Amino acid sequence: MITTSSVRVSHATQVLTGTVSLPASKSEANRALILRALSGQEFPIHNLSDANDTQLLNRLLSTPAGAEVSAEDAGTVMRFLTAYYAIKNQKVTLTGTARMCQRPIGVLVDALRKLGAQIEYLGQEGFPPLQIKGFEYAGSNQLTVRADISSQYISALLMIAPLLPVGLKLTLEGKIGSEPYIRMTLAQMAHFGVQASFEGNTITVPAHQYEPKVYTVESDWSAASYWYSAVALAKEADLLLPALRADSLQGDSVLPRLMAPFGVHTQFVAEGVRLTKQELQEPLERIDFSACPDLAQTVAALAAGLQVEVEMTGLESLRIKETDRVLALQQELPNVGATLQETEEGVFTVFSGKEAKNDPSIHTYEDHRMAMAFAPLALRQQIEIEEPSVVKKSYPRFWEALAAVGFEIEPIS
């Protein structure tokens, strides 16, 4: 793990070959950990992510009653544990970093209160920190929640639903954001014996005991996005990304289709995915990130590096991530010769072709995806990434993986 204040990243040949070390999916791993804990039984989870978010959740699931615990900067940890501690009638105080305490959680708390959770805000209404005091079933098995903010609220409710006396009928109101993550949750619940139905905007979950069953976590498609970007930016490329599946549960497995116009060919092989370079297609179509918001920063930075124009929609949830990711992109893209502008309501366009700064420095805003999205641009020009240690959140060995395929990583104190 690099702990210096910045790293200078470059690549001498712009040719990429070899096998890439990918982390396991923290999205899958975190759900599997919660479902195992809700089952009340121990069973193996293979290929558990070494991401900080996952290791943190694993530790906090054994929190003693009466403790004060921190979800740090991990959104899934905060949202999933709020529901988990409530349904388990576990009295704890749940807090996080300063940024986490600015991220809304009112939609989830309101829903849990309707089910019978006793939760109080210790600071600003609608935001952490929370005091979870217990749970007494309120008698209703029907909820309606907004679906346009964060799928993590919905997943948190779905995972505890089988433990309610008669299950839960959950109606999603409005445009559903990050739907693949909801379907991932339901698929993992089914793996452990709970068969829910998802028809229209309504999800029905029966009361049922989770069944212990061995689970193997897939490699992380979100992490793979940085390698897709690198292949698109390289002169030549032939990379193997191990342990990715064509039948993935992960929403970001749209990458093969999404990245093809940017000049990346995907071939599924026995070991995983093989990436090679092909011709860039222009003009590029408008891309909707509603179902895959974690890919937006990667694509925006890639468009800047390729000097192409890209229209992006479905960025609403980016405002409440580790940082305001829309604002962060607007502040950092000019360093690499591009801008991000809202050209019509809900539509953002990356405009490129401007002169990039010499040896640009990218501020990461304590956001792992800012660091990793901009790092592949080192294939086009030397770039400095501030606070490189932020990658520990999801991809602790990111810098080592870059170095293994020829990137030069120079720590700067």
- What residues act catalytically? 294
27 labeled binding residue: yes
> According to the annotation, is 325 in a ligand binding site?
yes
> Does residue 319 have a known ligand-binding role?
no
Going 362 to 366 to 367 to 371, the CA torsion angle's sign is positive
Measured between alpha carbons, how far is residue 213 from residues 38, 47, 156, 197 in Å? 13, 15, 20, 21
Gap between the Cα atoms of 150 and 249, Å rounded = 18
Query: Is 286 annotated as ligand-binding?
Result: no
Q: Is 369 annotated as a binding residue?
A: yes
Check whether 321 is labelled as a binding-site residue.
Answer: yes
Angstrom distances, CA of residue 351 to CA of 168, 261, 302, 380: 46, 17, 12, 17
3-state SS of the chain: helix, strand, coil percent to 5? 40, 25, 40
Distance CA 309, CA 97 (A): 36
User: Is 31 annotated as a binding-site member?
Assistant: yes
Joined tokens for residue 81: 């544990």
Q: Is 178 annotated as belonging to a binding site?
A: yes
Whether residue 222 is annotated as binding a ligand: the answer is no
Let me know if 240 is exposed, middle or buried by CB neighbors in 10 A (0-12, 13-18, 19+). Answer: middle
- Is there a binding annotation on residue 91? no
Selection from 3, 20, 404 nearest residue 226 by Cα: 20
Tokens of 59: 């530790």
Q: Is residue 177 marked as binding?
A: no
Return the H-helix or E-strand segment holding 112. helix 106-115
7: enclosing H helix or E strand: strand 6-11
Per-residue DSSP letter, 66: T
Give 267-302 as a DSSP string. Answer: EEETTEEEEEE-PPPSSPPPEE-TT-GGGHHHHHHH
Per the annotation, where are the binding residues for phosphoenolpyruvate? 26, 75, 103, 152, 325, 369, 393
- Binding residue positions for 3-phosphoshikimate: 26-27, 31, 150-152, 178, 294, 321
- Annotated binding site, which residues? 26-27, 31, 75, 103, 150-152, 178, 294, 321, 325, 369, 393
